[in-house]
Structure 1
Amino acid sequence: MPRIGAAPTRALMLVVETDRDAIVPQGARVGFVAEIYGRRAERAPTFLIVLLDVSPSMKKEGKIIRAKEGVMEAMKTLKPTDHFAVIAFCRTAKLVGSTIYGDSLEDIKRKVDEVKHCTFTNIGRALEEALNLIEALNKRYGAIYTYRILLLTDGMPTWGPKKPEHFSKIIERARKLGAPIIAIGIGREYNEKLLFHLAKETGGVFEHVTSAEEIRRVLEEYAAKGTKVVAKDVKLEIELYGNVDLEVYGFRYERKGSKAIVHVGDISEGEQVTVAGMLIVFPMAAAPGAKMRAARFRVSYYEPMGGERMTAWIDLTLRVVESEEQIKVDEVVAAKVNALSAAQKIVEAAMDGRAEELLEATARLAEETARIGDMELYSETMRIKEMLEARADEAVKEALSLASKIVKRTVKEEEVEERGAEGGQT
C-alpha cells in the first residue's frame, strides 16, 4: 500500500497510508489514514489553568475532596519553568491562586480549601476568566507559554450561556489564544453535549468520569500531557489534484478551493493523532498503466519555543489499472478508516439524540476495532454498547468520551521511529 514516512524536524513524524494501491478509470473511494506522531523535542514552559466547580453538588460523594487532591497532584507534574492557576466558579468565577503570582503548592491548597461553595453553575464565566488571565499573561510576558484549560464540573450550566451555540465567542477566543479545553464531566447530571462541543472546537478532549476516585487520575494525566507539548497549532492541509474530492472524519476542518485544512491542535511527545477519511476519485480519462497524482498531505506547526511555521509534505500517487481484481486492498487500513467514520457517526447520533443510530454506530466501531486487532479499544466499545442496549444513564456520556479520545493515543518512541524508518512508497 502507499506508505510514506516523513520527519519534518525533531518534533513530528507524518505517515500516510491508503486502503488500496490502485484505482480504475471509472473512479473509486480511496480510504486514507494520516498518522502524526509527537517525537522528543524542545518544549516551551506550560501554564495549566484548572477551572473548579464549587457548586453544592460537588460536596456529594467526596467529589470536591478528590478534585482538590487531583489539583495538588497535577501541580507536582510541573517543572520549575511551568506555572499553574486555579479558578473556582459557581454563579461567578474567581482566581483562587497561581504560582505565577508567587503562590506555593501549600498556598494554593489552603486557598482552595477556604473557597466557599455557592449556588448556580456558570461555565461561561469561568472560561472567560481563564481567557482573561491568558491575555494578561501574554501582554505582560509575551506568548511564551503553552496553555491548557482543565474544566472540571458535575452540573448543567444554570447561569450565563447554557447551549453549545451560546459559546461561539468564547471558543473563538480560545482558538486565537491557543488554549485547548480539556472538559472533564463527573457523574450523571452535566451537559455532555456542551462539554464535548467545547473540547472538540478548541482542539481539546472530553473526558467522562463516573466516580470521585477517577478525578485525581484524570487531572494528573492531562496535566502531565500538557507539559510535553512538542508542536503547537498543528494543521494537516490536504491539497486535491484533478477530479478528486474528500471526506474527513473526527476533526474540525475547512475547505478553501481545492484544499482541506484540518485543525489538529497541539501534539505532545509520545502522542499519535490519527486523521482518516475518503478520497473520492471521479471517473477519469487516464488509461490503465498511468499514474495519477491524487493529493498532497502537508503537515505544519509552530515549535513551542517560537519561530517560523515548520512544514513537511507527502505526495500521494495512485496507479490506474484495468479492473478491480488488480487492486490490492489493505484490510487494516480500511478498518481504521471505517472505525473513525463510525466514531463520527457516534458523535452525530449522540448530539442529535438518535438512540438507534447511536447503538448501530457503536456496534460498527466494535466490529472495526476487532478487525484492527485493538482488543483494548474493542472491549471498551463493547462495554459502552451494552450500556446503550440497557439504556444506562451514563451511556451517551461514555460514548461521546470514547469518540473524543479515539483519534489520540500514546505510543512508544521506538514505535514512532520504526514507522518513520519504513519511508518511501511500497
Structure 2
Amino acid sequence: MKTQVAIIGAGPSGLLLGQLLHRCGIDNVILERHTPEYVLGRVRAGVLEYGFVDLMREAGVSARMDADGLEHTGFTLAFQGDRHRVDMHGLTGKSVLVYGQTEVTHDLMDARRESGAPIYYEATDVQLHDFLEGDKPRVTFQHEGKQHVLECDYIAGCDGFHGVSRKSAPQDKIHNFERVYPFGWLGLLTETPPVEDELIYVHNPRGFALCSMRSHTRSRYYIQCSLAEHVEDWSDDRFWTELSARLPEDVAGKLQTGPSFEKSIAPLRSFVAEPMRFGRMFLVGDAAHIVPPTGAKGLNLASSDVYTLYHALRGAYHENRPELLDRYSEICLRRIWKAERFSWWMTSLLHTFDEGGFNQRIQKAEQDYYTSTQAGLMTIAENYVGLPYEPVV
C-alpha cells in the first residue's frame, strides 16, 4: 500500500489535514485506532477562532457550520460579581464562532466518506518506521486481522497526547515543557437554553466557573474542582447549587437547570514538545501541545498547525519547494508559545489558588488593569479571537 502522506489519527486535526490535502490532489491515508462512534463521543470545546473558520471553508466543509454556528462578538469576565464585557469585534474587527468540536468532527467525517479517500478505523499496533533518515518512511498496522504496510513520503502525527507519534520520536532529541495545575474542571452538558447569549467567565472565592453553550438549546457549564473529586460524587442538584453560588446574582437568577446527559472532570495542564519535526514525521495538534481550556485554544491551536503543514506540503509537491517543510516547527512553535502564554494567563487570572495574600493582590490588580484600560481589553480580545496565521513562504 502506498500514499504520499500517512496521517495518524482521525480527530479534527487529522481529518482536516486529510480533507485539505485531498482537495489539492495530494494523496493521503488516515489511520485511527478507535471506532468512529468513539471519536464522535469525545465531548470537547466549541469556540472557533476566525482562522479556523476560514480553514473549514477552504476545506469545503463549512455548510453546516455556517448555518448553525453562533457568531459571538464578545464575552463577559465577572470578578466578585462585577461584570466586564470584552467587545472583541469592536476592538479587533473580528469575532469567534460557537460550534461544537463534535459537530466539526462529524462534518469532516462526512466529507472523508464522500470523497472516497482511504481511512482505516480500529487500526491497531500502529508503528512508524524509517522516518528519521531517507525518503521512504513506512507505517505498519493491523486492521481486521491482517497486517498492513503503508509506504509514504511523509507522516503527520495527529494522534493526540497519548498517541504513538510523539512516542516514536527519539527521546534524546525531543524536549518536553509542562506545567500541571492543582485543580480540574467539572463540566456538565444539558439540553437547556444558555443563561446568556455570550460566554461568561467567572472568578469567585469559591472557585472558577464558566457559562458556555453549544447551541440556542444546549448549554455547557464548568466549575473548578479538586483533582481528588469524582464525577459520581456530583449529582446534578449539587452541581447546579454550586454553579449558582459562584455566578453573579443577576446571572444566577436567570439560570435554567435540567438533567445532564454528559458530565466529566478534566485535569488542566500546559504542555509543549519541541521540535515538532523529526525527519519526515511531523507532530500536529495535541501530539505536540496541550493548553488549559480557559483560553479556548486547544482545537484552534491544532488548526494552525494543520494550516502550516498543509501549505508546506502543498509547496513541496506543487511548487517543488521541499525546503518549506524545514520551517514547519519554528513557525508553529512561535504561535504555540503565544497561545500557551494566553491560556496560562487566563487560567491564572480566573482560578482560585491556595496562595498567600501577595499573590491574591497581584491577581486582583491584573483583573482591575485588564478590564479598566483600553490596552488591557485589546490584549484580551486580540488573543481570544486568535492571532493571525503566519504565511509559509
TM superposition score normalised by structure 1 = 0.22
State the TM-score, normalized to the length of structure 2. Answer: 0.23
The one of the two structures with greater contact order (alpha-carbon pairs below 8 A, sep at least 6) is 1
Specify the structure having the higher radius of gyration (Cα).
1
